[in-house]
Amino acid sequence: MVRREMVEEEHVDDETGGGSGPSENVSGATKPKPTGVGRKRWGTAVLALVGLAIAAAGAGLYLHSNKASPSGATWTPLLVVHQLEASGRAASARRTQEACRGSITCACRQVVARSALDADLHVQALAALRSDPDCATRTESRGMEAEAIVRAGRVEEGLAKAEKLLKTTPADPFATYAVAQASYEKGDPERAMQQAGAAVAKGRGAPALLLLGLIQFHKPDYERAKVAFQHMLQLDPDDTAALYNLALTAQIQNRYRDAREGYLHVLRVAPKNADARYNLGVLTHSVGATAEAKHHLEELEKIAPPDDQRVKKLKKLLTQPPHAQAGTTAPRPSGAPPRLEPAAGGAPIPPAVPH
CA distances from 34 to 37, 153, 241 (A): 9, 20, 9
The CB density around residue 47, as the number of other CB atoms within 10 Å, is: 10
Average pLDDT estimate for 222-250: 94
Distance of CA 302 to the CA centre of its chain: 21
Query: What integer best gives the mean pLDDT of the chain?
Result: 78
> Would you call 308 helix, strand, or coil by DSSP?
coil
Q: Residue 70 pLDDT > 80, yes or no?
A: no
Report the predicted TM-score, pTM, of the whole model to 2 decimal places. 0.73
Residue 19, pLDDT > 60, answer no
Residue-level pLDDT at 52: 36
Instruction: Look at residue 320 and tell me whether its pLDDT is greater than 60.
Output: yes
Between these two residues, 246 and 30, which has the higher pLDDT value? 246
Query: What per-residue confidence (pLDDT) applies to 15?
Result: 60
| Structural domains present in the chain | 4-38+239-340 (1.25.40.10), 41-86+89-136 (no CATH)
Q: Could you tell me which residues come within 8 angstroms of residue 4 by beta carbon, excluding any fewer than 6 positions away?
A: 287, 288
pLDDT greater than 90 at residue 251 = yes
∠ Cα 74 76 77 (to 5°): 145
pLDDT in the model for residue 91 = 86
